[in-house]
Amino acid sequence: MTKVSEVRRDIEPHDPKFPVAVEAALFALLMVAWEDVAVYAEYEWRPFEVPWVHTVDDDLFAHRRVVPDADTLTWAFDALEEYPERRLRRLNDTAAETIHTLGDAFWAAVTTARESALCATPFPHFLVRAFASEGIDEFLAHITVVEAALGSALDHYRRSRPKSERKDGATDRVAWRVAGLLDDAAAGERYRDLFRERSDFLHGRVMSPLPGQSRLDARRIARRCVRALIETARAAEDVTDPDAFLHKLLLRGQASS
């Protein structure tokens, strides 16, 4: 029998911030390119927040909470001079075209793809965590999304790799996979730059304020990688060896660099 003190001591590695159903819905919504359609993306790319979650309890004897106003999901507080003002977060005129894929078919495709071996790593957890974080924590979480999605244990164990690959660093290997997955060598190079900024922060090096563009690019690359991986998992139902898939991406990215 497990003691209560032992349960409280242990840390659940990927404990969800929201109920499982909410996390799943947010993950699907976050694959939309909100950072490309938000009017003030350099300040805030999110079109919504999750200030509350209402859970329905079927227990007849449980106290029924009042359902919050749905408008509070889309309003944000702003200050204009000394007077508080509430305003909606605005999307540009191309937003409708960008998000037109959201619907039952998209939800079903995402749900099915997440059962693939290619989606066994916890990148959905970190994508939702990035959404729920602010500042440098958001930036770090988006970089972690890419590492979780495209990283491999072999990246950190050089002796286990073929001799021809032992000189390659872990960051380079992930960057090549980014380039291979997105068919975009520039995205792989940008990931290297972002990872360098991440390392400067974590290792306590002297650094200037993180540019807003870095924040947006980290979100953009993470979202593109997740979307591409989900679409690949949906199309390649016979993929059973994620390591072999990652190796193919690496070779493809190296060829394009």
Which pLDDT score is estimated for 83? 47
pLDDT in tens, the chain (257 residues): 455 555 667 778 888 888 899 999 999 999 999 999 988 888 889 988 887 787 777 777 777 778 887 776 655 555 555 544 555 678 888 888 888 888 899 999 999 999 998 898 999 999 999 999 998 999 999 999 999 999 988 878 777 677 667 778 889 999 999 999 999 999 999 999 999 999 888 887 777 888 889 999 999 999 999 999 999 988 876 677 888 899 999 999 999 87
The pTM for the full model equals 0.84
CA atoms of 1 and 217, how far apart (whole Å): 48
Which pLDDT score is estimated for 63? 78
